[in-house]
A and B are shown apart, each in its own frame.
Chain A
Amino acid sequence: MSFAVELKDVRKSFGKTEIIRGASLQVNAGERVAIIGPNGAGKSTLFNLISGRFAPTSGEILLNGERIDGLKPYEVNRRGLARSFQVSNLFHRLTVFENVRCAVLWSMGYKYAFWKFLADLDDANDRADEVLEMLKLDRKRDTQVMNLTYAEQRALEIGLTIAGGSNVILLDEPTAGMSKSETKRFIQLIREVTEGKTLLTVEHDMGVVFGLADKIAVLVYGEVIAYDEPEAVRANQRVQEAYLGSVLAEQQAAAATAGA
């Protein structure tokens, strides 16, 4: 059986600096994996490589056993992988509803159709409304995105990612900038919408990490130094040194495990 996502000794350099130095990772279908690591370790870069924004310098990336490295983002997306961005990346002059609908059109097979009216595409419209409802954004359905609050934009960012029904979802710091209670609600939401799907997420908030992940991968200086169950990672000496090892992280993690 092939893995949902598999990285084989992936490397990426920008100019002379090598940012990803041979990362390997295997994610089973249906697993939730959190990627943690210090700032600049290359987490977002790794996401960029997987989602096709950059091509790796060397190594292989496989999605459900098929090689996808070097493909364009849209080609990767069409093979069933969607991602969110660390900084909200939306269609700011369109309404909330239109944003979500744009994200479902391709996956519903409408492609570049100019012989069909959007209003008649019941399945796409229903799906978009369904997503909005899940995100609790149905109230803002017809608001232009640029008028949304930060948290709403973050929510929509995730909405766009999951709307297309991709089976592999990549979330880059989905709860950044949110307050505690919102974060909680969000974890819940993410759990719901990614039920049965493969999820990779980058987070610095240990609360989220331990609340969400089945497995944790620790990325330091472009290498995966640990990949295991949360508790095992937490106990890992190297991880402690490189990343956690702080009162804050301990507290957050403890709170999450207690709550969960």
Chain B
Amino acid sequence: MGAARPAYHFKPYNVGRWIIWTLYALVLLVSPMIFTSGLSMTMLSQMGIAIIACLAYNMLLGQGGMLSFGHAVYSGLGSFLTIHTLNMISGGTLQGFPVSLLPLIGGISGLFFAVLLGWVTTKKAGTPFAMITLGIGELVWSMSLMFPEFFGGEGGITGDRVTGARPFGITFGPQVQLYYLIAVYTFICTAAMYAFTRTPLGRMLNAVRDNPERVEFVGYNTQMVRYLSFCASGFFAGIAGGLGALNFEIVTAEVVGAARSGAYLLFVFLGGATFFFGPIIGAILMVVAFVLLSEMTAAWLLYLGLIFLFMVMYAPGGIASLIMMNLRVAAFGKLRRLWTSYLALGGTGAVAVVGAAAMIEMVYHMQLNVALGPELKFMGATLNAHSLDSWFGAVFVLITGAALFEVSRRAFVREWSRIQEEIELEIRRREAL
């Protein structure tokens, strides 16, 4: 029977995939040439690190359905062991170990702790898993302050990455050199984690997520599947931690803290846990939010909270799912019909947001800085938090924006569902062929 089957699933040379990976490498390569300032350079470095960490986190959340509240433990301990190793290199006990390989030490440490703690953690999925990670996270965090010998107390452990051998004159002193080291790791780790999703273990992890019970009846031990994946995730998280140690040259207790773990969760979700590339978007947003947004406005936490509320409510699949939905429309050649709607939505939405933001900024200004004068700069304009005009203007902008937004939203929804209907029809037609 088998012999007679047509060999229709020959492996096509996947051009699309090659293009995407080349583009990815290219982006990693050229971004520091476009964004050259010192801050953007560190931000880019941190984005690379965050990408690895978030992808590692998503091996649990998106692919394994395991909600972890303590993944920073693995990236953080990776950081600590890396910096200790770095100091051993500078101290002379480990002479000759190349700095560029240090992140692997982080990875191995992450792996080690995942191997150590993972078995009890992955016994169950769901709430027990979530709570065990929360508990372990809290314990490690509390320990980190109690053991200054290893964790360096409040000041943490510092190191100097300019040490050891200098192949081709690379010292990793200048941020650019370090950035490229991070970029290389990011690329390799991304590729490796993508590859993981295409392996038997990776696929079984998805199966365990969907239906752990059935997995046991096709020969797999669910706990083992979770455990192995947990270890893999710990390994990559550790690499991210190791890179972080090199990047900041200081590691403090915060790297194992709950806030860090929470950030992984939030931003992976925001980026989109259901798609492989979602966490990449999330990671970039994470760095932008923490570094840039907080600098631009005092109300950044409010904005962050609101963005979350709305994203979870209206785009529970994260940004990645929005992109994929539009890609699907594009694949059926119907995106053209939407761009006017998008323009209208974007325009009116922006107006409404500006109105709202102006009010928020004025409220914050009144609370925090009004003693320095009632005036504040907002997007190039000067607002006066005490004058009715500014308030009236803001409200007016908000209302107009919101009203127009609602109008264009309705039109968009109509058009969108029409397109979806057409696509459904088209799919069914193709199936029927």
A-side contacts of B5, CB under 8 Å: 126, 129-130, 133
B201, B209, B219, B221: which contacts A107 (Cβ < 8 A)? B219
Within 8 A of A (CB), among B221-253: 221, 224-225, 228, 232
**Contact at A91–B206, with CB atoms within 8 Å?**
yes
A103 contacts partner chain B, Cβ-Cβ < 8 Å: yes
Selecting from B49-57, B124-132, B144-152, B192-200, the interface stretch reads B192-200
**Contact at B210–A112, with CB atoms within 8 Å?**
no
B218 contacts partner chain A, Cβ-Cβ < 8 Å: yes
Minimum CB–CB distance for B30 against chain A, Å: 30
Within 8 A of A (CB), among B170-218: 195-196, 198-204, 206-207, 209-211, 213-218
Minimum CB–CB distance for A12 against chain B, Å: 18
**Contact at A129–B9, with CB atoms within 8 Å?**
yes
Within 8 A of B (CB), among A141-194: 160, 164
**Contact at B216–A114, with CB atoms within 8 Å?**
no
Minimum CB–CB distance for A24 against chain B, Å: 24
Minimum CB–CB distance for B188 against chain A, Å: 15
- Name A51's closest neighbour in chain B (CB-CB): B217
Minimum CB–CB distance for B56 against chain A, Å: 14
Minimum CB–CB distance for A82 against chain B, Å: 7
| CA A180 to CA B137, docked complex, whole Å | 57
A116, A121, A129, A160: which contacts B218 (Cβ < 8 A)? A160
**Contact at B200–A113, with CB atoms within 8 Å?**
yes
Minimum CB–CB distance for A149 against chain B, Å: 13
Within 8 A of A (CB), among B93-129: none
**Contact at A118–B199, with CB atoms within 8 Å?**
yes
- Chain A 109-133 near chain B by CB (<8 Å), digits 1 or 0: 0111111111101000110011001
Minimum CB–CB distance for B118 against chain A, Å: 14
Minimum CB–CB distance for A50 against chain B, Å: 12
**Contact at B216–A130, with CB atoms within 8 Å?**
no
Known: A118-B198, A130-B2. A94 touches B217 (CB 8 A): no
B20 contacts partner chain A, Cβ-Cβ < 8 Å: no
B296 contacts partner chain A, Cβ-Cβ < 8 Å: no
Known: A119-B11, A130-B1. A164 touches B200 (CB 8 A): no
**Contact at A94–B219, with CB atoms within 8 Å?**
no
| CA A118 to CA B224, docked complex, whole Å | 19
Interface contact tally, CB-CB below 8 A: 108
**Contact at B220–A114, with CB atoms within 8 Å?**
no
**Contact at B200–A112, with CB atoms within 8 Å?**
yes
| CA A106 to CA B195, docked complex, whole Å | 19
**Contact at B199–A102, with CB atoms within 8 Å?**
no
**Contact at A78–B219, with CB atoms within 8 Å?**
yes
| CA A130 to CA B211, docked complex, whole Å | 24
**Contact at B1–A113, with CB atoms within 8 Å?**
no
- Chain B 1-26 near chain A by CB (<8 Å), digits 1 or 0: 11001000101000000000000000
A-side contacts of B202, CB under 8 Å: 114
Known: A90-B211, A130-B1. A113 touches B216 (CB 8 A): no
B-side contacts of A160, CB under 8 Å: 214, 218
| CA A115 to CA B221, docked complex, whole Å | 19
**Contact at A115–B206, with CB atoms within 8 Å?**
no
A-side contacts of B217, CB under 8 Å: 51, 73-74, 77, 82-83
**Contact at A73–B216, with CB atoms within 8 Å?**
yes
A105 contacts partner chain B, Cβ-Cβ < 8 Å: yes
A72, A83, A110, A139: which contacts B221 (Cβ < 8 A)? A72
A-side contacts of B209, CB under 8 Å: 93
Minimum CB–CB distance for B194 against chain A, Å: 11
A-side contacts of B203, CB under 8 Å: 94, 98, 101-102, 105, 118
**Contact at A126–B2, with CB atoms within 8 Å?**
yes
- Chain B 59-83 near chain A by CB (<8 Å), digits 1 or 0: 0000000000000000000000000
**Contact at A110–B211, with CB atoms within 8 Å?**
no
Q: Chain B CB within 10 Å — which of A91, A103, A125 has the most?
A: A91
- Name A112's closest neighbour in chain B (CB-CB): B201
**Contact at A117–B199, with CB atoms within 8 Å?**
yes
Minimum CB–CB distance for A109 against chain B, Å: 10
**Contact at A114–B228, with CB atoms within 8 Å?**
yes
A-side contacts of B224, CB under 8 Å: 112
**Contact at B218–A118, with CB atoms within 8 Å?**
no
- Chain A 53-94 near chain B by CB (<8 Å), digits 1 or 0: 000000000000000000011100110001101000111111
Minimum CB–CB distance for B282 against chain A, Å: 20
A-side contacts of B220, CB under 8 Å: 74, 105-106, 112
**Contact at A91–B210, with CB atoms within 8 Å?**
yes
**Contact at B221–A121, with CB atoms within 8 Å?**
no
Q: Give the 9 A-B CB pairs with smallest separation, nearest first.
A: A106-B219, A73-B216, A91-B210, A114-B201, A110-B200, A77-B219, A103-B218, A114-B199, A113-B200
- 5 extra interchain contacts, Cβ-Cβ under 8 A, other than A85-B214, A102-B204, A114-B232? A77-B218, A105-B219, A106-B219, A112-B200, A113-B199
A contacts, CB < 8 Å to B: 51-52, 72-74, 77-78, 82-83, 85, 89-94, 98, 101-103, 105-107, 110-119, 121, 125-126, 129-130, 133, 139, 160, 164
Question: Could you name 20 residue pairs across A and B whose Cβ atoms are closer than 8 Å?
Answer: A73-B217, A74-B216, A74-B217, A89-B214, A91-B207, A91-B211, A94-B207, A98-B203, A102-B204, A105-B218, A106-B218, A111-B200, A112-B225, A114-B199, A115-B199, A117-B199, A118-B199, A118-B203, A129-B9, A130-B2
